[in-house]
Amino acid sequence: MFKKFNPLLKEQVLRSSTWGHHFIFLNGLLAIFIGLVYLYAAPKTDGFIPFIYLVVTWLGQLSFLAFLLFLIIFFPLTFIGSFRWYRIISTVLAIIMHVLLLVDAKLFLTIKAHLSWTVCSLMLRDLDFNTGLNFNFMYIAIFILIGLEYLFVKLSNRELYKSEDRNNHFPTVVMIIVSACFIASHGIFIWADANNYEKVTNMRSLFPAHYPMTAKSFLSNHGWIDENDRKIVLSNSSFKYPLDTIAQADPVKKNNTIMIFINGMSYSDLSQDVTPNLMESKRQYTSFENHFLPYESLEDNIFAASFGLPIQYKTRFTSHDVEPVTVDYMQKLEYIIRIFSTKPSSNTQNNIAKTLGINENRFSFKNSDAEIFENALSFIENLKPEQSYVVNINSDTLTSTELNSKQRQEKLSAIDKAFGDFIHTLNEKNLLNDAMVIITSSKANPSAVNPHATYSMSAQHVPMILMLPDNGLRGVSFFNISSHFDLVPTFAIEILGIQTPCSNYAIGNSLLKLPQRDFIISSKGASLLMILKNKVVVYRKNGKAYIDNNGQKQDTKPNLETLIRAMREINRFNG
């Protein structure tokens, strides 16, 4: 025989369920109010449709989260059979949920990231909460939340004991509105995704736990469209570059620039026997002793040198034909731009031209290093005195992995001689008085790379020599850590006279104004790298970290403050 259902328990469950509906409704309104932070942090919406999508997603998503929590947590709790304990537990849970929402809102406002298992684990490891995010507002917010939840409990009690004959249509109207907003939000996103309308699709990660339906993911999974047609949408191409209008100082002297990239050369390759001319330039001019390449790939380092930005922006910039601010500004100032290089593959040539935003007719290719230096010298000598120029000389001879040690020494010595003759001739003809010369490498010595290291510091450590116009700042060595991210600000400030702070168009600084920075940001696959002078700290996707010292790996405690600083830098140009 089955026991009869306890009428008292049934009454308690019904009372708890009814009370819970009112309580969650009020908390949903509070969540929507807190969600105004996401609207404030949202990228600027240009157009009616993006604005409507932003509003309906705000109302629909946050109310949906409240409804979902009711179904998953609050409704099952009604079966505990105690109305008093149900109210106590629900109040405590509501306070916790809103605290998490406030923390998520603060994270998104600061670093454009939502709460995740990775972020939570890092915060729990940093028990001192030394995150640099300033959560002091929570001391006040928690007491306000407790007061509001107490008020919500009283209001829910009052609604529970009101006469059932009294009709209150307000909750019904609100639920209809937010439900319509939720449906409209997903409908608009499906349309935008199908039509590559990026002003809407770029806002897919704006709200917490927001996973909008997509048209192309469904169609591609069923073989209706080619996956390649989706790459622009999937690249999440929201960005703002530059962050502010580029402004030049009052008319300045238009100096010239010569950039010499001896790719495949590391710092350890310099020696008095093999590279006497480079060593002499290093002693006579300005040398940066701790210059590291952020990436292993030649093309990635060229992007870093051209834009001063991490490669997270590379696909988006090239797919949208974005030019470096310096190239755009040089064209306005009527600079003549030429690139002289040993002949690469046609594919590499196209990629580099697209990365730099320079037409391929400005490239000149020769078979030997001596020829490219001679070709560049001839070009400079034939210019009129009033013509300003930027010359880029690229040698890729040393990047070959087929060279043995003796062949490398011979090639390096030949490059050094061609370089020495080039600089000597320019000096003799006084063509360096109004020119800045940058000598470095965009690719490490392949034979020096440690295959067991996440980041091979000894190989990625490359020379950086700077010759300034009018023989300025000679015989000086800097030991602050630097990278290719610093080339764009150096050129923009020292040559073009751009006054806009370099933080508006790059993550680096002028080499002549280097701060005492702690690290350089880089990445490899899904890992974030922080390059220091003598080691690299690797943050993996799961939130764990380790120190890599040329292949010797040691687990370390993640530093959340440093990680947030790095993520803030990387995401600074995201829309």
Decide if pLDDT at 10 tops 80: no
Q: Give one DSSP letter per residue of 23-53, joined into a string.
A: HHHHHHHHHHHHTHHHHHHSPP--SHHHHHH
* ∠ Cα 168 172 175 (to 5°): 145
Residues 6+ apart with CB under 8 A from 343: 365, 366, 367
For the chain, list the domains and their CATH numbers. 7-234 (no CATH), 256-515 (3.40.720.10)
Task: Please check whether residue 535 is in contact with residue 200, taking contact to mean a CB–CB distance below 8 angstroms.
Answer: no
Three-state SS for 162-229 is CCCCCCCCHHHHHHHHHHHHHHHHHHHHHHHHHCCCHHHHCCCCCCCCCCCCCHHHHHHHCCCCCHHH
Q: Which of 503, 515, 562, 522 shows the shortest CA–CA distance to 111?
A: 562
- What residues form DSSP beta bridges with 439? 260, 465
Decide if pLDDT at 221 tops 50: no
- Measured CA to CA, the distance from residue 399 to residue 405 in angstroms comes to 13
What pLDDT shows up at residue 233?
A: 37
What pLDDT shows up at residue 148?
A: 93
The mean per-residue pLDDT over the stretch 1-8 comes to 52
Chain length of the chain:
575
- Measured CA to CA, the distance from residue 495 to residue 438 in angstroms comes to 12
Decide if pLDDT at 575 tops 80: no
The mean per-residue pLDDT over the stretch 200-221 comes to 67
pLDDT tens digits for 506-561?
A: 999 999 988 888 899 998 887 889 999 888 999 887 667 899 887 888 888 777 66
pLDDT tens digits for 397-409?
A: 999 888 898 999 9
Three-state SS for 496-536 is CCECCCHHHCCCCCCHHHCCCCCCEEEEECCEEEEECCCCE
Report H helices in 213-368.
215-221, 231-234, 276-284, 298-307, 314-319, 325-332, 346-356
Q: Which of 558, 465, 544, 449 shows the shortest CA–CA distance to 130?
A: 558
Task: Please check whether residue 99 is in contact with residue 83, taking contact to mean a CB–CB distance below 8 angstroms.
Answer: no
pLDDT tens digits for 340-362?
A: 988 764 455 556 666 665 666 77
The mean per-residue pLDDT over the stretch 66-89 comes to 87
Mean pLDDT of the chain: 83
72-86, 126-140, 328-342, 513-527, range with the lowest pLDDT: 126-140
What pLDDT shows up at residue 130?
A: 47
* ∠ Cα 317 462 564 (to 5°): 50
CB burial readout 337-354, b (16+ within 10 A) else e? bbbbbbebeeeebebbbe
What pLDDT shows up at residue 137?
A: 83
Task: Please check whether residue 290 is in contact with residue 480, taking contact to mean a CB–CB distance below 8 angstroms.
Answer: yes
Q: What backbone torsions phi and psi does residue 538 show, to the nearest 5 degrees?
A: -110, 125
Question: Which helix (H) or strand (E) segment is 389 a member of?
Answer: strand 389-395
Q: Which range scores top for mean pLDDT: 113-122, 134-143, 187-196, 221-230?
A: 134-143
What pLDDT shows up at residue 349?
A: 55
Describe the strand order of the beta sheet including 536-539 as a list of residue ranges.
520-524, 527-531, 536-539, 545-549, 552-556
Decide if pLDDT at 573 tops 90: no
Measured torsion, CA atoms of residues 399, 400, 405, 411, in degrees rounded to the nearest 10: -70
The mean per-residue pLDDT over the stretch 349-378 comes to 77
Task: Please check whether residue 397 is in contact with residue 411, taking contact to mean a CB–CB distance below 8 angstroms.
Answer: yes
Decide if pLDDT at 250 tops 70: no
pLDDT tens digits for 24-75?
A: 999 999 999 999 998 888 877 778 888 898 999 999 899 888 888 888 888 8
CB burial readout 422-455, b (16+ within 10 A) else e? bbebbeeeebbeebbbbbbbbbbbbebbbeebbb
